[in-house]
Structure 1
Amino acid sequence: MTRELAVGIDVGTTSTKVAAVDRCGEVVAIRSAEHGLIGGTDAVEADPASWWRSVRSALRGLAGLRADVVVVGLCGNMSSAVLVDRCGAALRPAMLLADPRGADEIANLGEDVRAEIERTTGNSPGTVFTLAKLLWLARHEPLRMRRANAVLTAKDFIRHRLTGTLESEPTDSANTLLLDERGAAWRTDLIEALGLRRSLFPPLVDSESPVGAVTDAAAAATGLPAGIPVQAGTGDMAAALLGAHDPEPGSVLISLGTSVTTLACVREFASRWSGALTSHPLPAGMGSMALGSLITGGLAVNWLRSVAGDDAVRAADARPDPDRPLVFLPHLAGAGTPDFRPEARGSLFGLDTATTGADLAHALFEGTAFEIAEVLRLLGADHTERVLLAGGGTNLPAWVRIITDVLGRETEVLERPDTSTIGAARLAWRAVGTSCPAAGRRRRCAPRTEYRTAWQRREERYRDARRTAFRYYAAENDEQRP
């Protein structure tokens, strides 16, 4: 006897994952396919056509399960900007969240526009937002901007391939910084004040609404049944919260993905967080989310794998050496919370002839842990009573152990790291009127109190190196300005 399934599709930064989930929340299968990034010294981009290829490849991995799928849910990497023509084809590579371009355009925003954006969104404009990419494109590639029929996010692009429809929804589109206070409508006045075309921005629908159905062509390409509904979807971070648990104030999810992010479900975004954390809507009825982003994380781990090998990364020791001078600042594509310094880059201090790849991995893991600890301090104790860890990085035991030690509190590690994919499937069930429970086992990890003092000394050393590096990059950035 077959059982009905929802498929969640997560268009990540470097790979696509799909999850088949039944009505009881059981994950029947998860499959993935790589699509990678386009290389470049001053850009972080991806080919949208490769997203569609990886979606089809991952869905093929579900094999005989595809006939049982009754609804499709979507999520994808946030702040991606995909310019498409009238046929929905991408006009250029997609600019991604970690792309540092647009800093000058953001710096040149008028004070009235900046103040209005901060008032309505709670966010200070920066390069992590889609707005920076659009302003950069308008200045540097005006012909493409004029040719563009719409600007889509990653999951909106894939939904168009599945259904032929062009829409977006608030959890993803809020990263343009061009929605109203309720996240329900585009701010036409701001769009026009910034010299952008209102027609570029697709209609907004509720995140959990069914939007179109799988076309015959998409069914032939993916193996999904033609005619089944496709849900509007969410940004990947909103989906991650839903995939980990039922979001509730007081709990925080740390996602160890390409970009390490710290997500807290909050009743109201506190004014003290403005400029340090970012504010994002959750699907209707779930409140909002305060987000701290390292920008890189898994991206830095993958870079280290490319130069030192996977064995070196997995050989990292989880014990601190308080006297070792080695420090790794993981800002390979700029720094996020709380500074938002796009000019910052990864830095190594204290190398010597005995330094190994495993030593570098340990230093990278502890660097990300110190950054996460700062985010939790910003959030405050009321918003961090319960700490969950998820994402592909949880497959590296030393990383999990170091984070738990540095935070000095028990963490819950989700058995299934693919929370965004599972969250997309859970929300898809809601689109057809089914309340799918959160499911999945987790293990508890307790901090090692005997290393508390050593970690404190390591963090002091890290903070000193961070201040030194940021002064250097700020000076370099000033020298390069015209």
Structure 2
Amino acid sequence: MARAVDAIMHKGDILIGIDSGTSVVKAVAFDLSGTQIAVASVTNAYDTGAGGAATQCMSRTWKDCVTALKQLGNLVEGLSGRTVAIGVTGQGDGTWLVGRDNVPVGDAWLWLDARAAPTVSLLEGNALNRARFEATGTGLNTCQQGAQLAHMDRFDPASLDRAEVALHCKDWLYLNLTGVRATDPSEASFTFGNFRTRQYNDVAIEALGLRQRRHLLPEIVEGTETTHGLSDAAAQATGLRAGTPVSLGYVDMVMTALGAGVYTGEADAACSTIGSTGVHMHARPAEEVHLNAEGTGYVIALPVPGIVTQVQTNMAATLNLDWVLNIAADVMRGMGQDVSHRDLVSHIEGWLAAGKPGAILYHPYISEAGERGPFVNANARAGFTGLSAANGYADLVRAVAEGLGMAARDCYAAMGALPSELRLTGGAARSPALRQILAAAVNAPVRVSARDEAGAAGAAMMAAVATGVYPDMRSCISEWVTPLLGQAEAPDPGLVRTYETIFPVFAGLRRDLAGTWDLLAKLRTESRDETEPASSVTTGA
């Protein structure tokens, strides 16, 4: 294959992928064939506040990225001179406002931020909302920049007046790396555009009530075709070579799925990332997208011409397991026994084996932001159904894990036919018992990629194509992705039958609970209003 470094303007043998998540920023070095060489990670942080606020300091996120790159330089000898190109991706959705001299307007609103919920409800009643959905392929929810900008425009227009551009996390890092204000086709089209053209769409922008704010939308850059050089300032900060090509990756969920095998040529294969959130996606030609009647989910472009991912995302996945483990930790601490999260995780396989399949139903809507896939309800909350005195802690853990499987099936059912094969990534993919639960829930064999850092790999793959290391993404996938897919693990037929029986009950019950969730949300609001002093109430967003 014509991957010789002589074909590249600057000779080198390393590609760097940056993946800036909600809580960790990673910089990963790969050789030109996709072998991971080293990884450096820096813990990030975000703040939560009243009304569902979830924000992150933009300057800290850039500093954390710089630190990760400098640490990578300490791990890889001669990194600066050996780096062919850099690809950058990051957490999706959210709003990162930048003003004069590229200074942040304030802290970024994250995808976790739920403050825009009342504006989402208002926008859903807009006569143009279905036309917006048909263009973007994406249902409205509080995570999205479109909804957040619309909410800011109603309640904090001064912040938008001070802003010159509205970016996402990876776009903010790209700006700091290159000095260029830009976004990529994936986030541009699923929020403000048309997934078929990968460009901004007037109807989508009008439906969000943001026509007067259109100037905040940055240029769309295709990172497999266009790069910008690492700026002198960024080079000085990171220790890398000025002018090194930087590729703006697609949103992290797509980069992770790309690196983990969402698109390798087989028909009907799908990919689920079971991490803090649950991301479930099919890769298919744009003309074969199935848009559901409820107007939920995402359609997100892949960096492959004509191919998109249809996506449904659970607001919380392993966060549910963290919660049930924390319950045990709290009880043990109350008895004077301090245990770590890692200690409890080591017992999950045993608890899952001891719990009875299908004994209890659990709806995994543990996030205070509610749920966004395959339905949108900011008031949705988690709950067990079917508990009796005969159930023990292992049954609760088993139910929570099965709730993740039922939620995954719920998401795939909303996108059409269930997948013929499921590729798994994320922390939960390491659990054999959880893999079997997910396989049986969607009635498909599962495969796990040996790729450790799939998100960073996806970004590096884009940089590899952009700089001519590979002629196109398909050839890069054949070497970076396909060989790393493990053997298929078939679902247990008995477990499949159990889940086929309980899934209709799971789906019907979550529909029936909507009114209860809304009533509980009203009661919570009334209780909060009665206890909060008047001076603490603000009119800000």
TM-score normalised by structure 2 residue count: 0.80
Closer, same or farther in 2 for the Cα pair 1:336/1:73, shift >3 Å? Answer: same
1:350: Cα distance to partner?
5.9
**Equivalent residues of 1:213, 1:230 under 8 A apart:** yes
The 3 A distance-change label for structure 1 pair 240 and 96 is same
Measure how far apart 1:456 and its partner are.
Answer: 4.4
User: Is 1:405–2:440 an aligned residue pair?
Assistant: yes
> Any idea what the Cα deviations from partners look like across 1:137-163, whole Å, max 9, x if unmatched?
112222111111111000000111111
Which residue in 2 is equivalent to 1:251?
269
Q: Partners in 2 of 1:223 and 1:360 — Cα distance?
A: 50
CA distance in 1, matches of 2:308, 2:86: 24
Distance 1:58 1:456 in 2: 45
Change (3 A) 1:355 1:58: farther
Paired amino acid for 1:123? T
Q: Is 1:49 matched with 2:65?
A: no
User: Which residues in structure 2 correspond to 1:14-413 (within 5 Å)?
Assistant: 14-40=23-49, 42-62=52-72, 63-65=74-76, 66-67=79-80, 68-109=82-123, 111-178=126-193, 182-185=197-200, 187=202, 190=205, 193-194=209-210, 196-245=212-261, 246-248=263-265, 249-267=267-285, 268=287, 269-272=289-292, 275-304=295-324, 308=329, 309-316=341-348, 317-319=351-353, 320-322=355-357, 324-325=359-360, 327-332=362-367, 333-349=369-385, 359-381=395-417, 384-413=419-448
Task: Single out whichever of 37-46 and 345-354 deviates more from structure 2.
Answer: 345-354
C-alpha displacement of 1:389: 0.4
- CA offset digits 1:286-323 (Å, max 9, x no partner): 51110011121134344555553343344223345157
Q: Deviations over 1:224-256 (max 9, x none)?
A: 222101112111122123212344442111111
What is the letter of the counterpart of residue 297 of structure 2?
L
211-220 vs 472-481, which deviates more?
A: 472-481
The Cα offsets for residues 264-287 of structure 1, whole Å up to 9 and x where unpaired, read as 111121244661332122225151
CA RMSD in angstroms comes to 3.1
| Letter matched to residue 107 of structure 1 | S
Q: Supply the distance in 1 between the matched residues of 2:465 and 2:450 (Cα, whole angstroms).
A: 24
Q: CA, structure 1 residues 367+28, in 2 after alignment: closer, same or farther (shift >3 Å)?
A: same
CA distance in 2, matches of 1:136, 1:247: 39
Q: Is the 8 A contact 2:19 2:456 kept in 1?
A: yes
| TM norm structure 1 | 0.89
Q: CA deviation at 1:423?
A: 0.7
Count, aligned residues? 481
Q: Which residue of 2 aligns with 1:415?
A: 450
Deviation larger for 426-435 or 137-146: 137-146
Amino acid at match of 1:242: L
Give 3-state SS (helix, strand or coil) of 2:27's partner: strand
Stretch deviating more after TM superposition (430-439 or 304-313): 304-313
Q: Which amino acid aligns with 1:174?
A: S
Q: Is the 8 A contact 1:244 1:438 kept in 2?
A: no
Name which of structure 1's ranges 231-240 and 214-223 shifts more when overlaid on structure 2: 214-223
Farther-moved stretch of structure 1 (176-185 vs 88-97): 176-185
In the alignment, which residue of structure 1 is the partner of 2:18?
9
Q: Distance in 1 between matches of 2:393 and 2:62?
A: 35
